[in-house]
């Protein structure tokens, strides 16, 4: 269960009025090995992301409160917006539907592209790809056809790893090294996973429960187990 309030803001690209959710709190039930916190009912990450129905600009509330330059707005409209298509939901003649809210994983996919377009740091881009991947374990995205789930899972994991690796040199939180190792293992990048698990375990910093998890997961990576 997630508690939130709503507010209205103008899209920083096209000016379209958009309703935003300000998330207050949620009730946790546990945590997966890639740090996805489990919740009952609607998940907090699904309430945090927003999409402009007109131009598909996507992101958090703070992204909608940004001031973009005219050049940045025009670049988004001409180079990025046309490529953001929810392929599962198209109109009767095949045109993309912009009047509906896409699934949360698609919104995070678009938020990742938006973050890149407005030059946010790689780590912030990677976090959005990661949340797109997490959404595939949560309804309604979890109910996508198996072939679609497999395809988008591969896409989201790939780019989460790429962007988080780019941002790792600026990252002070050692737990991010553990996260990157586990994402690599899940994506069957086993040699890279073992390397990052070793890197995490050899430092004193890092949560103890993640140290214990890493000691078990590194063996799975050595055995080429990605489940």
Q: How far apart are CA 80 and CA 210, in angstroms?
A: 38
Q: How far apart are CA 186 and CA 181, in angstroms?
A: 9
Asked if the model's pLDDT at residue 115 lies above 80, the reply is: yes
Asked if the model's pLDDT at residue 131 lies above 60, the reply is: yes
What is the per-residue pLDDT for 110?
97
pTM tops 0.85, yes or no: yes
What is the per-residue pLDDT for 99?
52
SS3 207: coil
Q: What is the pLDDT of residues 163-218, one digit of tens each?
A: 999 998 877 788 999 999 999 999 999 999 999 999 999 988 888 999 999 999 99
The model's confidence at residue 26, banded by pLDDT at 50, 70 and 90, is: low
Across the chain, mean pLDDT equals: 90
Q: Give the mean pLDDT of 36-43.
A: 86
């Amino acid at each position: 269960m997630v508690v939130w309030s709503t507010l209205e803001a103008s899209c920083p690209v096209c000016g379209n009025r958009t309703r935003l959710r300000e998330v207050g709190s949620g009730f946790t039930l546990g945590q997966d090995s890639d740090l996805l916190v489990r919740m009952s009912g609607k998940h907090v990450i699904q309430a945090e992301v927003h999409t402009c129905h007109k131009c598909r600009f996507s992101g958090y509330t703070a992204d909608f409160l940004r001031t973009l330059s005219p050049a940045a707005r025009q670049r988004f409209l001409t180079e990025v917006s046309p490529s953001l298509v929810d392929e599962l939901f198209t109109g009767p003649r095949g045109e993309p539907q912009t009047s509906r809210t896409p699934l949360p994983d698609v919104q995070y996919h678009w938020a990742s592209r938006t973050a890149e377009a407005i030059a946010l740091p790689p780590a912030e881009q990677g976090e959005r790809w990661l949340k797109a991947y997490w959404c595939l374990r949560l309804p309604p995205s979890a109910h996508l056809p198996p072939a679609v789930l497999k395809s988008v899972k591969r896409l989201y994991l790939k780019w989460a790893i790429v962007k988080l690796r780019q941002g790792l040199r600026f990252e002070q939180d050692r737990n991010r090294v553990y996260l990157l190792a586990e994402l690599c293992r899940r994506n069957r990048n086993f040699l890279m996973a073992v390397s990052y698990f070793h890197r995490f375990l050899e430092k004193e910093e890092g949560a103890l429960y993640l140290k214990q998890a890493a000691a078990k997961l590194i063996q799975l990576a050595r055995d080429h187990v990605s489940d």
